[in-house]
Structure 1
Amino acid sequence: MRRDGVLPGLATVLDPDALLAALAPALPTADVRAASVRYVRYKPHTNCLVAYRLDVAGAESQTMDIHAKVHRLDAPEKLGKARQRAPVPGRLGVGRIVLEDRGLVVWAFPNDLRLRTVRRLTDRHARARLLRRLVPDRPELWAGTLETLRYKPERRYVARLETASGAQAVLKVHAAPRYDRAAAGAAAFRSCPPLRVPRLLGRGDAEGIVALEWLTGRLLAAALADGAVALATVTAVGAALGELHSQRCSSLPTIEPGMEAAGLLDLAADLAFLCPDLARAAQDLAGRLAARLREPSPARCPIHGDFYAEQVLLDDAGVAIFDLDRAALGDPAADLGTFIAHLEREALHGGLPADRVPALREALLEGYRTVTRRPPPPGVDFYTAVGLFRIAPEPFRGREPDWPERIAAVLARANVAALAAS
């Protein structure tokens, strides 16, 4: 990271001990025992955001979330925006810290520059007022309490709303411009055997929030990790995806091939900076994949847009597919390939036996065929390569100790899939 000289606070924001030392003068009364990195989002020469979980001492040990973002020193307007926002104090005693000499801003949850609604959700009275407008026909939810499920600072916040009576819902807050697409996806599909999807309960466009039905079940990803998934279960997942692809959803946005291709090339540039030894391989592979992405798609239908085992629930009622935030009209092979790409990644990282992947792949495609009554769309291998390329940076984003080697392994597997597709 020393090569990125325009971000003087980068070394601080990526090092938990260095960050705590830098924050100590601004937190004289806080007893922070440790900090652990949860997530990194880095754009070389532009900015880097790191989400942390702090272990804070008190009457009883407790954790809290913060996120730190470093900017270029020649972009003072970024720090200016942060200073203009009045934060709410949290357990640290402050809600926002600006270290101007490092171009660094630190926000304590629930403060978030782009997800302003999160602050309202964490205040009991403000949340009740918001829920009355969001779900006016569901008064049983108005007094619900929140449990955070997922939080990507400046992008998305997901929580479970639960009441003493047992009523539940999911609340999702999105930053603009992602909200419009997420809201469209939430409203686009309907449950129809063999598919279940969460019903949209309400939306607040001004607040960037949707309320969705809470679905019960076990994540397919957890079942796969335990080795507890029969091939017939994955066949049922393929059938559910086939039903999703068969529905009519004209309100969804259409995927733009040019933007998809540009995204791969941008990602290749980022990977080249992170791993100079992989620069040529990453940029060559991205160039080949981008060239094919620009070609006209043979078929378009409603697709999930980010389909893998973390987006699937299993229970006696059947297969549920959720997190439809990136749903769009696109190539159906993209969902199938993305799902298989994640299986391949898990096998590379030891989360799944490698010899299990081919059988899981065939089970998925067999289930898909039973509903669509036609062969799987061409391009599954190609989109497996695209999917692997897109998730290649994840080891760095999760700050895994051996992230360079893991990135190299995923890129090599993506190249194998690309060659199989050519």
Structure 2
Amino acid sequence: MRLRLGSLSSSEVSSYPGRNENWAGVTDTGHSVFVKRLKGSPGESRKRYRRIVAFERLANGGARPFPRPEFLGGDEGHRLLVFRMLDDIRSGSELAAEKEFTESMSARAGRTLAALHRLPFREEDFPEPDPHPFPPVDDLRSLPLETYVHATGAFVQAWGLLQRDAALLEELERLRAAEDRAARVPVHGDLRLDQFLLADTAFHVNDWEEFRLGDPARDVGAYVGEWLHRAVLRIPAQETDDAFSAVLTHEEVVARGSEELARVLPLISAFHRGYREGGGPEDDGLVVRATSYAGWHLIDRLIASTRESGRLSAIVRAAAGIGRTALLDPRSFVRTVGLGEAS
């Protein structure tokens, strides 16, 4: 496909960290663009490309424009996608790190997610079954050899902890079964704060490689889990692996944990309020499943932290422990994580 946008000069482009190759800059014809090339195996990268295109097709058919970077075109064969570059953007993770993510922003994020979950669709828009790969219950029963061979020591250690946890595995299987029974809607599938981009006064949502039909509780829980994870990571006095055990006493850990949780709960509650105001689907069990997914998010962050690390961080293990507690008894923790009351 020829987009006639001109060329990018290699000396005047920027790139950002991530799992894909990307380039951002102004072409010689004056177009400000962000170009992404999907990495991965041919089959897997093709699926991710087609999910992005499927989202764009669905979003264009909505009653009102869905806020996201404008898609200008792509080339499936080369896994290339071109978007119009947003000016003066700040990601949600940047705002959160600087404590500038406000309750009104969180409510706006909730309304934005509700708009996604309300997008009208037809079954033919999703012609092939595409279940979400996480939580990977089968792998937690038996890790594939190729994954094991290429794993870090920290990954093997973390996976061993999870595989030996029979109660956790049972709850994850129950969560996947509950997802199968839930009414399916369009979901982001990999929602994190860094995928909310603030430009002017509007939130744009980015990165649609895991877009599919799914349980709306997955996205709600991921947002909640993001804030819980940040709250736990802020407990240590120093950013070192042993800060959790060596710097703080038990009483200090409890006090700081309570303080950090009190800081993020209003943001989660504002998000949930915005989600309901935006007409997000909310069946009787959604907040319970969302609490489970928030718990899984904390465990998933543990797994993600091990991919290039030789050992497990104590504070990340602590966060995963909190996630496990929420997963084992989600109904009792709905209010604790800021989602109101379980019905």
Q: 2:49 aligns with which of 178, 182, 195?
A: 182
Using structure 1 for the length normalisation, give the TM-score.
0.59
Maintained 8 Å contact 1:185/1:327: yes
Q: What is residue 243 of structure 1 aligned with on the other side? A: 115
- Which residue identity lines up with residue 96 of structure 2 in the other structure? L
SS in 2 for 1:306: coil
Q: Distance in 2 between matches of 1:212 and 1:328?
A: 20
Q: How does 1:314-333 map to 2 (within 5 A)?
A: 314-333=198-217
Q: What is residue 383 of structure 1 aligned with on the other side? A: 293
Q: What is residue 412 of structure 1 aligned with on the other side? A: 321
SS in 1 for 2:23: strand
Q: What is residue 212 of structure 1 aligned with on the other side? A: 83
Query: For residues 17-57 of structure 1, what are the alpha-carbon distances to aligned partners after superposition, in whole Å with 9 as ceiling and x for unaligned?
Result: xxxxxxxxxxxxxxxxxxxxxxxxxxxxxxxxxxxxxxxxx
Q: Distance in 1 between matches of 2:220 and 2:162?
A: 28
Maintained 8 Å contact 2:225/2:295: yes
Q: 1:256 aligns with which of 105, 112, 131?
A: 131
> Residues 354 and 373 (structure 1 numbering): CA distance in 2 closer, same or farther, change over 3 Å?
closer
Q: What is residue 68 of structure 2 aligned with on the other side? A: 197
Maintained 8 Å contact 1:194/1:236: no
Structure 2 spans left out of the alignment, 5+ residues: 149-153, 236-258, 332-343
Q: What is residue 175 of structure 2 aligned with on the other side? A: 292
Using structure 2 for the length normalisation, give the TM-score.
0.72
Q: What is residue 396 of structure 1 aligned with on the other side? A: 306
Cα deviation for residue 368 of structure 1 reads 0.8
SS in 1 for 2:183: coil
Q: What is residue 266 of structure 1 aligned with on the other side? A: 139
Q: What is residue 225 of structure 2 aligned with on the other side? A: 341
Q: Distance in 2 between matches of 1:339 and 1:370?
A: 17
Q: Distance in 2 between matches of 1:255 and 1:276?
A: 25
Q: Distance in 2 between matches of 1:260 and 1:373?
A: 23
- Which residue identity lines up with residue 200 of structure 2 in the other structure? D
Cα deviation for residue 148 of structure 1 reads 1.8
Cα deviation for residue 242 of structure 1 reads 0.8
Q: Distance in 2 between matches of 1:242 and 1:232?
A: 15
**Equivalent residues, number:** 281
Q: Distance in 1 between matches of 2:301 and 2:138?
A: 14
- Which of structures 1 and 2 has the bigger CA Rg? 1
Q: Tell me if 1:142 matches 2:10.
A: no
SS in 2 for 1:393: helix
**Structure number with higher strand proportion:** 1
Q: Distance in 2 between matches of 1:137 and 1:321?
A: 23
Maintained 8 Å contact 1:194/1:318: no
Q: Distance in 2 between matches of 1:368 and 1:254?
A: 27
Maintained 8 Å contact 2:155/2:307: no
Q: What is residue 241 of structure 2 aligned with on the other side? A: none
Cα deviation for residue 321 of structure 1 reads 0.3
Cα deviation for residue 255 of structure 1 reads 4.0
Q: Distance in 2 between matches of 1:173 and 1:283?
A: 40
Q: Distance in 1 between matches of 2:274 and 2:65?
A: 10
